[in-house]
C-alpha cells in the first residue's frame, strides 16, 4: 500500500460539504425568501454553475488529467449533453405538451 492511497481524501470531503451547502442554499433561497421568481431562478442557476465547477475539480479531478485533447473533448461533450438535458427538460415542462393528452 503506497503512501498516496492511505491519505484522507480531503478534496472529496470539501467538495461534498460545498455541494451540500450550495444545495441547501438553493432550497433556502427558493422556499424562504421573498425574492422575485427571476431573481430566484438566476440565483439557483448561478449556484448550480458553482456546484458544477466544484464537482469537476473536487470529484472528477479535471486538473489531474494527462490525456490532453481527449480530456477536453470529454468535457465539451459533457457540457453539450448537460445543456441538452437541462434545456430539453425546460422545453418539455413549459411547452404544455401534457395538457394536450387525450
Q: What is the per-residue pLDDT across 63-95, written as a single tens digit (0 to 9) for each? A: 666 666 777 787 888 889 989 998 998 888 888
What are the CB-based long-range contacts (under 8 Å, 24+) for 86-95?
A: none
| pLDDT of the residue at 20 | 94
pLDDT reading at 100 higher than 80 = no
pTM of the model: 0.62
Amino acid at each position: 500500500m503506497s503512501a498516496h492511497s492511505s491519505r484522507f481524501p480531503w478534496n472529496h470531503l470539501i467538495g461534498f460539504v460545498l455541494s451540500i451547502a450550495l444545495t441547501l442554499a438553493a432550497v433556502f433561497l427558493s422556499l424562504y425568501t421573498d425574492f422575485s421568481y427571476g431573481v430566484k431562478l438566476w440565483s439557483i442557476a448561478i449556484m448550480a454553475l458553482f456546484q458544477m465547477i466544484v464537482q469537476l475539480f473536487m470529484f472528477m479531478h479535471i486538473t489531474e488529467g494527462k490525456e490532453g485533447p481527449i480530456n477536453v473533448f470529454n468535457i465539451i461533450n459533457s457540457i453539450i449533453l448537460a445543456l441538452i438535458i437541462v434545456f430539453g427538460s425546460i422545453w418539455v415542462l413549459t411547452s404544455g405538451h401534457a395538457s394536450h393528452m387525450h
